[in-house]
A and B are shown apart, each in its own frame.
Chain A
């Protein structure tokens, strides 16, 4: 059952990413990316990491993708990159792809030689919450200042201009 689900999700992820690259419409691209993220979340759930699975879906598929779609709809780009610029992006992506392949080969090689750790650390939301309010209380509190600063900054910049 586990294997079946894994291969199903993996195939769906790869398929969604491929469809995202091939499709010309930017809104579809974003939607396919959401599908890919959701499938990745499923794979995390299979690995017994429910928290990461949920966060993956909430943050990536939820928050970040909504932002993407907003931006796409707002700037309304119909046509992709012009042809002469596209050449450059293709060359650049070939180079980056080669780097990525080398990296993958190295890490897979390393993964087989490493001893398999028997003690599986189960980090659920409880542990995370406990850490957040004990060891990382101070950084957690600083984040609240950060959010106030961001809110105040955003509001003052978009506030309605006064009429003369």
Chain B
């Protein structure tokens, strides 16, 4: 249905960003927290709009903007993620000297890019949305301006990101050249009608995989991840580890699932993704074993999770992919929240050594962090277990047994480094005293919500599975 209101989720977020930018000028440095509240209000409005538009299938601009249930579900989920990130940042940015009003504005603008990408099936528009998201991300990564690591992260992310963008545009040009359209459905149609292998289109598709592979951080396009994750302000790292990844996978879902169902010559692309998937799981998990910095461990763990998610893409398993991404949001942001909790003014504790004895000294942080780590490793009764279980079981049914065996072995390796953090927290004598700022209600709210999400999705996922099924059954 053609309706101007289809624009509203994007407009609300952009308006929020502009208002924050405007008010930033008038607010004193002590009162910058009001900007966070304003951003949160706009996020709540956006989430409310998403709920109201469910099942309505609004579209605008001749279908260039299309709010199907899949788009709405993910806009809602990522609005939630951004809300968590904002709550996590409120104290953090005053502690770590990144207290700029533009922080929230950039986050909201990045979210608008996400909404643009999610609600379109035209690759040109998806590309523009990706650029909005990326440009905000480059700036956000470098916000700790007095920290050399942060500037390094921003430069690295910017250079490699521009390179990936070039690949993506080149791929889009080749796809446009062969199919005369940038819309995903026409491109798929081209692949259906073309009985002979069109080399140009396949190279285009492969370049698109490279472009997005960079954003979702799969091996061999993952080199930037650990450095950028380590250098960026920690709440922003939580944002990077969830949001671009989720969006990238939704684009993959929209592009590759119909491609595999319909196109004739799919072997080449299938095997490219297969190899990327195996490499991602193995390299991500093996390299994580040797890390001692918490942010780097979580960076490699997020790379490994991209591998499991690719299994779902290869198995054409839409609902498991969406469920995995949902669970991943809660457990990963929760884990980062626990890492952020261990900080005070001007100091962050990020080395594994610092975590010795934390479990007894700060029981709340210890317990929740342990649950998030167990969920990331895939232990029942957490959401992480069910997510992995769904992905692996459908993959077996689709005949991807070798992939599942590698996946299970890789997640066994991952248990080691997740449990090592827990062992440090509970079974090591603290080598040095750490002192943290305990009064941070916003952060504990996030910890609580993520804990609730992980447990709820692990024990009683029925409600959310019904929603997910509605979302994936309707897309294009």
Is B345 on the interface with A (CB-CB < 8 A)? Answer: no
Interface size on B, residues (CB 8 A): 35
User: In whole angstroms, how far apart are the Cα atoms of A154 and B145 in the complex?
Assistant: 12
Determine if B116 and A142 form an interchain contact, defined as CB atoms under 8 angstroms apart.
Answer: yes
Asked if B113 is at the interface of the complex by the 8 Å CB criterion, the answer is yes
* A145 interface neighbour in B60, B132, B143, Cβ under 8 Å: B132
Binary interface profile of B, 131-158, with partner A (CB < 8 Å = 1, else 0)?
1100110111011011000000010000
In the complex where A152-B106, A157-B154 touch, is A139 in contact with B128 (Cβ < 8 A)?
Answer: yes
> Is the C-beta of B39 less than 8 angstroms from some C-beta in chain A?
no
B52 shortest CB reach to chain A, Å: 22
Number of A-B contacts (CB under 8 A): 68
With A138-B64, A161-B145 as given contacts, are A146 and B139 in contact (CB-CB < 8 Å)? no
Report if A137 contacts B (CB, 8 A).
yes
Q: How far is the CA of A83 from the CA of B450 in the complex (A)?
A: 57
Looking at the assembled complex, report how far the CB atom of A65 sits from the nearest CB atom of chain B, in whole angstroms.
19
B residues near A145, Cβ cutoff 8 Å: 14, 109, 112-113, 116, 132
With A148-B109, A153-B136 in contact, is A142–B102 under 8 Å at CB?
A: no
Interface residues of A in 126-147 (CB under 8 A from B): 135, 137-139, 142-143, 145-146
Separation of A99 and B46 alpha carbons in the complex (Å)? 51
- List A contacts of B135 (CB < 8 A): 146, 149-150, 153
Q: Is A156 an interface residue (CB 8 A)?
A: yes
A155 within 8 A of B: yes
The reply to whether the CB of B65 lies closer than 8 angstroms to some CB of chain A is yes
Q: Are B143 and A138 in contact, with the CB atoms below 8 A?
A: no
Do the beta carbons of A152 and B128 come within 8 Å of each other? no
Tell me whether A149 and B132 are in contact (CB under 8 A).
yes
A138 in contact with B61 (CB, 8 Å)? yes
In the complex, the chain B residue whose C-beta lies closest to that of A140 is B128
Main SS class of interface, B: helix
Is B100 an interface position by the 8 A CB rule? yes
Tell me which residues across on chain A come within 8 A of B132, comparing CB atoms: 142, 145-146, 149
Q: Tell me, in angstroms, the Cα distance from A161 to B71 when the chains sit together.
A: 40
Q: Is the CB of B105 within 8 A of A152?
A: yes
Q: Report Cα–Cα, A33/B18, bound state, in Å.
A: 40
Docked-complex contact A156 and B106, CB < 8 angstroms: yes
- Contact flag A143-B128 (CB < 8 Å), given A138-B64, A149-B106: yes
In the complex, whether B333 has a CB less than 8 A from a CB of chain A is no
Minimum CB–CB distance for A1 against chain B, Å: 35
Cα separation A83 to B64 with both chains bound (whole Å): 53
Which residues of chain B have C-beta atoms less than 8 A from A159's C-beta?
A: 100
Question: In the complex, which of the residues A139, A146, A148, A157 contacts B124, with contact meaning CB atoms closer than 8 Å?
Answer: A139
Q: Do A138 and B139 have beta carbons less than 8 Å apart? A: no
Given known pairs A138-B125, A139-B125, A139-B128, the reply for A156 and B139 (CB within 8 Å) is yes
Interface bracket on A = 10 to 19
Instruction: Tell me the complex Cα distance, A149–B21, Å.
Output: 11
Say whether, besides A153-B135, A153-B138, A157-B154, A142 and B129 are in contact (CB < 8 Å): yes
The smallest beta-carbon distance between B320 and chain A, in angstroms, is 31
B128 in complex: contacting residue of A142, A148, A150, CB < 8 Å = A142
Cβ distance A24 to chain B, nearest Cβ, rounded Å: 27
Cβ of B415 to closest chain A Cβ, rounded Å: 39
Complex Cα–Cα for A142 and B125 (A): 8
Complex Cα distance, B117 from A139, in Å, reads: 11
Q: How far is the CB of B184 from chain A (nearest CB, A)?
A: 15
Contact B145 A157 (CB under 8 A): yes
Among A138, A139, A153, A154, max chain B CB count under 10 A is at A153
Residues of B63-92 at the interface with A, using a CB-CB cut-off of 8 Å, are: 64-65
List of A residues within 8 angstroms of B17 by Cβ: 148
Beta-carbon contacts under 8 Å, B323-344 to A: none
Complex CA distance for A142 and B142, rounded to whole angstroms: 24
A152 contacts B113, CB within 8 Å?
Answer: no
- Residues of B near A139 (CB, < 8 A) are 64, 124-125, 128
Q: How far is the CB of A96 from the nearest CB of chain B, in Å?
A: 16
Q: Which residues of B contact A155 (CB under 8 A)?
A: 102
Residue of B62, B125, B129, B143 near A156 (CB, 8 A) is: B143
Q: From residue B419, how far is it (CB to closest CB) to chain A in Å?
A: 39
Taking CB atoms, residues of chain B closer than 8 Å to A156 are: 100, 102-103, 106, 139, 143
Mind listing 14 A-B residue pairs with CB under 8 Å?
Answer: A137-B61, A139-B64, A143-B128, A145-B112, A145-B113, A146-B135, A148-B109, A149-B109, A149-B110, A149-B132, A149-B135, A153-B136, A156-B100, A157-B142
The chain A residues found within 8 Å of chain B, CB to CB, are 135, 137-139, 142-143, 145-146, 148-150, 152-157, 159, 161
Interface residues of B (CB under 8 A from A): 14, 17-18, 21, 60-62, 64-65, 100, 102-103, 105-106, 109-110, 112-113, 116, 124-125, 128-129, 131-132, 135-136, 138-140, 142-143, 145-146, 154
- 5 more contacts with CB within 8 A, not counting A138-B61, A145-B116, are A145-B109, A146-B135, A149-B136, A152-B21, A153-B135
The 7 closest A-B pairs by CB, nearest first: A153-B139, A138-B61, A156-B102, A142-B128, A149-B109, A138-B64, A149-B135
